[in-house]
Amino acid sequence: NAGVTQTPKFRILKIGQSMTLQCTQDMNHNYMYWYRQDPGMGLKLIYYSVGAGITDKGEVPNGYNVSRSTTEDFPLRLELAAPSQTSVYFCASSGRGTESYNEQFFGPGTRLTVL
Amino acid sequence: DAKTTQPNSMESNEEEPVHLPCNHSTISGTDYIHWYRQLPSQGPEYVIHGLTSNVNNRMASLAIAEDRKSSTLILHRATLRDAAVYYCILSSGGSNYKLTFGKGTLLTVNP
């Protein structure tokens, strides 16, 4: 299993540009998440999904959009990039069941800089 | 959401045990205690979780106080690869999948 994969690894955007961060998991997990991590800080939840077609806001959703059309993919969209969105973005997934959803598997991250 | 308090940093020597403390005095009865760690330039990695009883797995042990207001992650024999930021996280009973990360404890392991 590849686990959770994210593309791209790095990206520089200009203010006002748009982009989509891709996330794919091959573990047949129902739950998927997007986090951002600013320098020296912990991770903050942006959006999450409990299954295909179902998404919900996390702690810091403003400026982002998500969709979940398949179990495997959970892309994160930035419509109008701002310098405040400069961060490292992590995608994660977890299974479903009595205990299995407690372990989240993280991707390697996308480092985004907005200038 | 219930909050956790961890020391900013700790230091250990290689091959010695490490006890990482976490205080969570406002924990509720259905809150799970999770520990994740993040190695430099990597995504977080699950370590262990528990509810009331102590837990052991191949990576670590989790000791939970009887009143559940604190817990300790125990690495039995620290290696250089264990140098990381360790996060103690509580999740609400009905939303155990939603984790709120704090700043964690930066563990330095000396050779």
At B69-102, the pLDDT tens digits run 999 999 999 999 999 999 999 987 666 677 888 8
Q: Which residues pair with A31 in a beta bridge?
A: A94
Q: Which residues of A14-43 are buried (b: 16+ CB within 10 A; e: fewer)?
A: eeeeebebbbbbeeebbbbbbbbbeeeebb
By C-alpha distance, the chain A residue nearest B50 is A102
- Chain A residues 39-78 with CB within 8 Å of chain B: 40-45, 48, 50, 58-59
For A33-79, the pLDDT digits (tens) are 999 999 888 899 999 999 999 999 999 999 999 999 999 999 999 98
Give the DSSP per-residue string, A71-87.
SSB--EEESS--GGG-E
- Chain B residues 32-51 with CB within 8 Å of chain A: 32, 34, 36, 42-46, 49
Quickly count helices (H) and strands (E) in chain B. Answer: 0, 9
